[in-house]
């Protein structure tokens, strides 16, 4: 959001639901020397009962200049205490999500790949704070570990999945297996990955000796191969483990296989 017309270096109060009974202070910003500021605002949930727009205001604390505009009510779901667009975990973990901008007091279902995993009731501001146990992967996927998460209002038929371009994704922790896990220098290691995101592309690192591929200059220096998973999140590749030191442990690491936040999984090989 871009705001201007305020005093130089002035403190600006951002108020949502402006001049309504449930008006709320959202954040304070500081204008630059020209009286302008650019910021990303996380709006609080507002019940989607009557209108599709909410009035907000920017109020200069010194000049008392008040500028108002509207932002849309757009049902969304995000991590309660995780990266806002996704998180990684495993079956049995407790996952906390928040869905917002629904009708007040309606039943809201949260789904994993369109299978219901939680049902709750929205509060007076149209928000649902959900806490539930992550189900087994096989209950919600044929194998791929990337799960699209939605929230659905049962009376309003509103659907929140953050946006078509940037949905909230739960990533099941994938598996990385080496065959064999020990052997002499010169061993060919088969690397098998399962439950990765479907159709994803990421670097596979090896910290043993090898000649880097010059085409991988954009990736970390220890990138041995670039991996592309199939529709079920699987892949298989090989590493030629030459020049190893007997007794030393070496590592194969799949990293950055989720979109937008850091992730990594490692398997080990012991040289004989």
What superfamily would CATH give domain 175-271?
Macroglobulin (MG2) domain (2.60.40.1930)
Select from 52, 66, 75, 61 the least CA-distant residue to 18: 66
pTM score of the predicted model: 0.83
Could you list the beta-strand ranges (E) of 39-183: 53-60, 66-72, 76-79, 86-89, 94-100, 107-112, 115-121, 128-133, 146-153, 159-160, 168-172, 175-179, 182-183
CB neighbours of residue 100 within 10 Å:
26
CB neighbours of residue 211 within 10 Å:
6
DSSP code string of 87-109: EEE-TT-EEEEEEES--TT-EEE
Convert the pLDDT of each residue in 239-249 to its tens digit.
Answer: 999 999 999 99
Given a cut of 90, is residue 86 above it in pLDDT? Answer: no
Size of the chain in residues: 272
- 76-172: CATH topology: Immunoglobulin-like (2.60.40)
* 50 pLDDT tier (thresholds 50, 70, 90): confident
Bridge partners, residue 99, by sequence: 77, 128
Domain residue ranges in the chain: 2-72, 76-172, 175-271
**What pLDDT, on the 0 to 100 scale, is given for residue 258?**
78
**What pLDDT, on the 0 to 100 scale, is given for residue 79?**
85
Given a cut of 70, is residue 51 above it in pLDDT? Answer: yes
């Amino acid at each position: 959001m871009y705001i201007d017309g305020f005093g130089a270096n002035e403190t600006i109060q951002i108020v949502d639901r402006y001049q309504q009974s449930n008006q709320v202070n959202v954040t304070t910003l500081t204008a630059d020397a020209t009286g302008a500021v650019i910021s990303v605002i996380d709006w609080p949930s507002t019940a989607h009962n009557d209108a599709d727009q909410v009035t907000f205001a920017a109020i200069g604390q010194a000049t008392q200049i008040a500028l108002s505009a509207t932002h849309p009510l757009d049902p969304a779901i995000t991590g309660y205490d995780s990266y806002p667009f996704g998180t990684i975990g495993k079956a049995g973990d407790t996952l906390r999500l928040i869905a917002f901008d629904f009708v007040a007091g309606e039943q809201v279902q949260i789904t994993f790949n369109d299978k219901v995993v939680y049902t709750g009731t929205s509060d007076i501001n149209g928000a649902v704070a959900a806490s539930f146990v992550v189900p087994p992967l096989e209950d919600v996927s044929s194998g791929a570990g990337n799960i699209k998460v939605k929230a659905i209002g049962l009376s309003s038929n509103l659907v929140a999945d953050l946006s078509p371009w940037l949905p909230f994704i739960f990533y099941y922790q994938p598996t990385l297996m080496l065959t064999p896990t020990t052997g002499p220098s010169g061993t060919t290691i088969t690397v098998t990955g399962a439950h990765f995101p479907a159709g994803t592309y990421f670097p596979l690192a090896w910290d043993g000796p090898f000649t880097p591929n010059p085409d991988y200059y954009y990736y970390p220096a220890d990138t041995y191969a670039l991996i592309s998973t199939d529709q079920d999140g699987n892949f298989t590749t090989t590493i030629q483990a030459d020049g190893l030191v007997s007794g030393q442990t070496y590592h194969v690491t799949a990293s950055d296989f989720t979109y937008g936040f850091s992730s990594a999984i490692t398997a080990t090989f012991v040289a004989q």
